[in-house]
Amino acid sequence: MNETKKTALITGGGAGIGLEIAKLLAPLGHSLLLVGRDANRLKAAADELRAAHNVEVHIYSIDLSEPSAARRLCDHTQQQGLDVQILINNAGFGIVDAHIDIDPMKLFRMLQLNVVAVAELCQHYGRIMKEKRTGRILNIASTAAFQPTPYFAAYGASKAFVLNFSEALAKEVEDFGVSVGCLAPGPTDTDFFDTSDKRDHSGRHLFQKRVGPTLVW
């Protein structure tokens, strides 16, 4: 492709907070790139957005908890000629358990997604934005970022990384036309709780499931 298209890239864009952000961005004129693991869910979200807003929507199915995935996503946008001027790092998951009991591979994949992929994508697209002197980055943290979270320890710490990293990165690029923000939602009605809610041996919830609005600002 000879010309690049201004694009908003949203990880975890097929449902939940990612899809709600896509709905806010759709009327603004940028094309959208929804990224996630579930190709069917991405397609359904893209069809919904196109029908409602007559907007160009691309999808890319990839598991960003895999070590090389962020690099492959960056390569994909370059190959497709997509000019990512808005980056929304929304994809993430949590594990509710005593830290010493967590399966090491699940822990690795969570930290790879919540921490490493966020840093890698910000580095790649942030560099391009800085060179062009324009761009917007929004990283999704959590209210868990603001305090220690027993039985949610590594997840809370990963979101504390996102919060502090975002604030530092914002300072580094503020003189180059690039803004970096961080959204820290509270408990939100998404699929997150379907995978993270857990009870101990007595039946007590390790993390009390609570439901809030679809999108918490």
Cα dist from 184 to 43, 163, 215, whole Å:
27, 8, 10
Give the per-residue pLDDT at 190. Answer: 61
* Pair of tokens at residue 165: 């990293």
Give the per-residue pLDDT at 123. Answer: 98
Catalytic residues: 155
Go through the domains of the chain in sequence order and give each one's CATH number: 5-196 (3.40.50.720)
Give the per-residue pLDDT at 18. Answer: 97
Q: CA-CA distance, 124 to 130, in Å (whole number)?
A: 10
Give the per-residue pLDDT at 198. Answer: 54
**Predicted confidence (pLDDT) per residue in 128-152, tens digit:** 999 999 999 999 999 999 999 999 9
φ and ψ of 10, to 5 deg: -125, 110
Give the per-residue pLDDT at 207. Answer: 46
* Cβ atoms of 63 and 37 closer than 8 Å: yes
**Which parts of the chain register pLDDT below 70?**
1-5, 189-217
* Cβ atoms of 22 and 45 closer than 8 Å: yes
Give the per-residue pLDDT at 194. Answer: 52
Give the per-residue pLDDT at 199. Answer: 46
Which is it for strands 135-140 and 178-183: parallel, antiparallel or unpaired?
parallel
Give the per-residue pLDDT at 52. Answer: 95
Give the per-residue pLDDT at 30. Answer: 84
